Amino acid sequence: MRDRDVRNAIQSALTATGAFDGAWLTGLPENYGAGASQLAAAAIDPMSSTQSDQWDSQDAGGLVITSQVSITLLYRHDDPQLRDEGAELLLDTAANALNGQSLAGLTLPGLTRFTAWSWQPATPPERRIGATFSYAYIVEGWDSYDTTP
């Protein structure tokens, strides 16, 4: 059970919507030599994780891992209204694709969702929305982390 498996599942789910020209696990199109031609993009970056146990003893159950990733949504268009509408549509599409899902067969659906987002200042021809996506999963046993490459 690894956060990278969940981030890969997020990337796959966003790509499967058909709404994105690209979804990257780190950085945005300009980091990959694909600049202004990319009209709709998403960048998935790890943010933070916490672990907790809900039991009195390590023998009683696993650890609950709660993680957050930053998903930057980017939409480019010359018309300011269409640019903002496109960015909002990307957010709504991402929420429909990810909220309440068991990503990579790991995450708890009731704890898998967007928790916050903020509009970044427009820099024509682009608008970005920075969103926080949270999820949780259980690692059975205190020494059962997946260490395979």
Each of the 149 residues of the chain gets a pLDDT tens digit; together they read: 689 999 999 999 999 999 999 899 977 766 656 555 568 999 999 999 998 876 655 556 678 899 999 999 999 999 999 999 999 999 999 999 999 999 999 999 999 999 999 999 999 999 999 999 999 998 876 666 667 77
Query: What pTM did the predictor assign?
Result: 0.87
Sorted by sequence, the CB contacts under 8 Å of residue 58 that are 6+ apart come out as: 142
**Domain ranges in the chain?**
3-139
Sign of CA dihedral 119, 2, 102, 19: positive
Among residues 135, 64, 67, which one has the least CA distance to residue 101?
135
Phi then psi for 128, rounded to 5 degrees? -120, 145
Enumerate residues 6+ apart whose C-beta is below 8 A from 19: 40, 89, 90, 93
Which residue, chain included where needed, has tokens 């993009």? 41
| 3-139 under CATH 3.40.50.300, yes or no | no
Closest CA to 71 of 18, 19, 113, 124: 113
